[in-house]
Amino acid sequence: MANLAGLNGKSVLITGGTGSFGRKCVEVILKEYVPEKLIIFSRDEMKQYEMAQTFNDRVYPCLRYLIGDVRDLQRLHRAFQGVQYVIHAAALKHVPTAEYNPIETIKTNIIGSENVLNASINNGVEKVIALSTDKAAAPANLYGATKLCADKLFISGNVYSGLRRTKFSVVRYGNVLGSRGSVVPLFRQLRSSGVLPITDSRMTRFWVSLEQGVNFVLRCFTMMAGGEIFVPKIPSMRIKDLALVIAPECTHQSVGLRAGEKLHEVLITEDDGRRTFEFDDHFVIAPDFSSWGSQGEIGKTGKPVPDGFSYASNTNTDWLSPERLRGMLDHI
Q: Is residue 126 part of a domain?
A: yes
What's the pTM value of the predicted model, to 2 decimals? 0.94
Q: Is residue 41 part of a domain?
A: yes
- Digit-coded pLDDT (tens) for 202-227: 999 999 999 999 999 999 999 999 99
Print the domain residue range for 78: 11-174+208-234+268-312
Q: Is residue 49 part of a domain?
A: yes
Q: Is the sign of the CA dihedral 279, 137, 206, 176 positive or negative?
A: positive
- Digit-coded pLDDT (tens) for 243-271: 999 999 999 998 988 877 899 999 999 99
Contact (Cβ atoms closer than 8 angstroms) between residue 89 and residue 12:
no
Distance CA 316, CA 245 (A): 20
Annotated catalytic residue 135: yes
Q: Is residue 102 part of a domain?
A: yes
Tell me which residue of 316, 309, 207, 198 sits closest to 261, measured CA to CA: 198
Write down the catalytic residue from 135, 167, 233, 262: 135
Split at pLDDT 50, 70, 90, the class of 293 is low
Contact (Cβ atoms closer than 8 angstroms) between residue 279 and residue 223:
no
> Does residue 290 carry a pLDDT above 70?
no
List the CATH number of the domain containing 130: 3.40.50.720
| Number of domains the chain contains | 1
